[in-house]
A and B are shown apart, each in its own frame.
Chain A
Amino acid sequence: MLYREALNKALDEMMEKDETVVILGEDVGFYGGNYRVTEGLYAKYGEKRAIDTPIAENSIVGNAIGMAIGGLRPVAEIMTVNFILIAMDQIVNQMAKLRYMSGGKVELPMVVRTPQGVSKQLAAQHSQSLERFFTSTPGLITMVASDATAAYYGLKYAIELDDPVIFLEHELLYPMKMEIQERKDFDPFKADVVKEGKDITVVSYLKMLHDTLQAVSVIEKELGVSVEVINLHSLNPLDMETISKSVKKTGRFVIVTEEPKTGSFAGEIVSKVTEELFYQLDAPPLRICGEDVPTPYNRKLELLSIPTPDKIAKQIIYWGRENGI
């Protein structure tokens, strides 16, 4: 199975089960989705439930808010995260705030799905990671799906939740082959320890999780240590319990994200770790992030702008040696 098929399966099962679940977005219906995530749903559920919209992101989210008010459970797709900026008023001023401003009277059971990240040579306006904008907005749940299991169970969970969810996917994960692990008790608000270790805690998600896992054996061999890797399914709320437990064991913390470093979500996690676990740390926390540049088109420059398995390994090894591992 492909990662995108896990998302499709989640949508299909939820639409099958609950006729108030509708999907909307650019090309999600007749065309089947630009990344084929919604393929087949138009044929199966019709145009009233697989709703093609014009190129009007602000309305896609704004209409979804109205649909949620009107008794539906809409799942809006923004073709890529880059275009979500057009809808930021609806997300930040409306979706995140209506429950609070109404004293709890207005509930918005809705999901906004969107892929982010650097794909291949799509240049600056199509290659961004913007999780910081969502995680720093009170009133939004920000989930990430790093593998087929999180994609399938996480998306179903998000659709059933009575809160607005930003559901982040990654463009390069869509065609990747992976299986859904049987996880009936899947809880997106609990992070998974995907690899146990005792010397360094590395937290990551989306594409960078896979790059980190590729880097692990080199790091372990070079430093002679064992690395623990944590996969987040939700950025806000954040499962600090799992992170804390791991850092107390290892005494060393690394976060790997694809976003530019300055003002990053990675910085927020490091703040939390430093505030809560300062005396457990044997080394300064390490952030491995994208460079503070717009993503360049040229492939060589593009790869210089984001972490890769090789760079992740090199940076952790260097940091490890500098800090007496």
Chain B
Amino acid sequence: MGKSIVERAYYLMKLGRVFEERAKEEYMKGNIAGFLHLAIGEEAVHVGATLAFGKGDLFVHYREHVWALARGMSPKTVMAELFGKKTGVSKGKGGSMHLFDPAFNFYGGNAIVGAHLPHAVGAAYARKYLGHSEGVLVAFGDGATNAGNYYESLNLASLWELPVLFLNENNFYAIGTRVDRASAVKELYKKAKEFMPAVRIDGMNFFEVFDAVSKAKEYIETEGKPYYIEALTYRYEPHSMSDPGDYRSPRELKVFHDKDPVEFLKKEGIKRGLLTQEFIKQIDERVEKEVEEAVQFALKSPEPEDKELYTDIFCEVCTDVVP
């Protein structure tokens, strides 16, 4: 793996970490409201997969800030969206759970568990039909694997031979219900194996995620068929800011804090001669500055105008006829 990729990964994972820690602070101050789902602890999956996957369409769940940043969306416009401002990626109408930008092939930000899986299947159908070579990546949690959308989508992606990478981020909890209390099949990748090749990987390890997704991407794009990765990961924060998170033991938290993906990448990168202390220091400073700028940008941005209430409901033709 090249030095530049690892450097980029460190920057994005650190950016994600600092961005989200700051988002939490801003939530406490009242600058961000509603549901805020933090992905602190899951950065290796979000960044590793995005970097390995290239430019293909991404369909993601509601814990998607780091996915969006990794895809290249600006911390400023993402933070402004969290603040509900006019300058946000979704003009302040979507919020934390609904980041969209077709310019980055980024399609949400979906807050109904598993409902975006059929979108990924449909998009892959369309892209393949129109002769595009790139596949589609859809990320979802362990909770989604027990819902109907999941099985429908595995079935259709396989039946129609579509280049979809199903990336299951198993963080062990669907809000407060542990995975083994919700799923009859305990190793989730086995719930895909009848439909497509499926593997389980360590989602706290950037290198493992990057390699697995690179391999998967190659497979779906050359074979034109789906592939499945279950990445074991962990969210250090509760499900959302309104979840007390008291269903997890301190011992369990420690086990996963010891595997902190940002710290792991730092250590492993230095060991392999791909990162230096000096580079890390530079990045850490740069990230602090960028996140501060993002917050200032969001704070100073205007609220959407009242007329925005009635825009973006329909296309121009229909907007003209709807009173």
Footprint of B on A, CB under 8 Å?
A: 20, 22, 48, 53-54, 56, 58-59, 61-72, 74, 89-90, 93-94, 98-107, 138-139, 141, 161-163, 189, 236-237, 240
Nearest to B94 among chain A residues (CB) is A101
The distance in angstroms between the C-alpha atoms of A103 and B314, with both chains bound, is 11
B122 with A66: CB separation less than 8 A: yes
Using Cβ atoms and an 8 Å threshold, which residues of chain B touch A105? Answer: 90, 100-102
CB < 8 Å: which of B93, B115, B118, B159 contacts A103? Answer: B93
* Extra A-B contacts (14), CB below 8 Å, given A72-B125, A89-B112, A101-B100: A54-B152, A54-B159, A62-B115, A62-B117, A62-B121, A62-B152, A63-B118, A70-B124, A71-B127, A102-B93, A102-B100, A103-B91, A105-B100, A162-B315
Given contacts A66-B119, A66-B126, A94-B119, contact A59 B149 (CB under 8 A): yes
The distance in angstroms between the C-alpha atoms of A48 and B155, with both chains bound, is 17
Using Cβ atoms and an 8 Å threshold, which residues of chain B touch A163? Answer: 314-315, 317-318
Q: Once A and B bind, how many residue pairs between them come within 8 Å at the CB atom?
A: 155
Nearest to B93 among chain A residues (CB) is A103
Determine how close the nearest CB of chain A comes to the CB of B128; give it in whole angstroms. 9
The distance in angstroms between the C-alpha atoms of A106 and B90, with both chains bound, is 10
Sampled A-B contacts (27; CB under 8 Å): A58-B118, A62-B119, A62-B121, A63-B121, A65-B122, A67-B122, A67-B125, A69-B102, A69-B119, A70-B122, A70-B125, A70-B126, A71-B127, A71-B130, A72-B125, A100-B312, A100-B313, A101-B90, A101-B93, A102-B94, A102-B312, A103-B88, A103-B89, A141-B314, A163-B317, A189-B321, A240-B323
B322 at the interface (CB under 8 A from A): yes
Determine how close the nearest CB of chain B comes to the CB of A269; give it in whole angstroms. 14
A93 with B112: CB separation less than 8 A: yes
Given contacts A59-B149, A62-B115, A70-B125, contact A138 B94 (CB under 8 A): no
Determine how close the nearest CB of chain A comes to the CB of B117; give it in whole angstroms. 7
In the complex, how many residues of chain B place their beta carbon closer than 8 angstroms to a beta carbon of chain A?
A: 49
Give the top 7 A-B pairs by smallest Cβ distance, nearest first. Answer: A66-B122, A62-B118, A70-B126, A103-B91, A102-B100, A104-B312, A63-B122
B314 with A106: CB separation less than 8 A: no
Using Cβ atoms and an 8 Å threshold, which residues of chain A touch B121? Answer: 59, 62-63, 66
Bitwise interface map of B from 153 to 182 toward A, beta carbon under 8 Å scored 1, else 0: 101100100000000000000000000000
Determine how close the nearest CB of chain A comes to the CB of B22; give it in whole angstroms. 23
The distance in angstroms between the C-alpha atoms of A66 and B312, with both chains bound, is 19
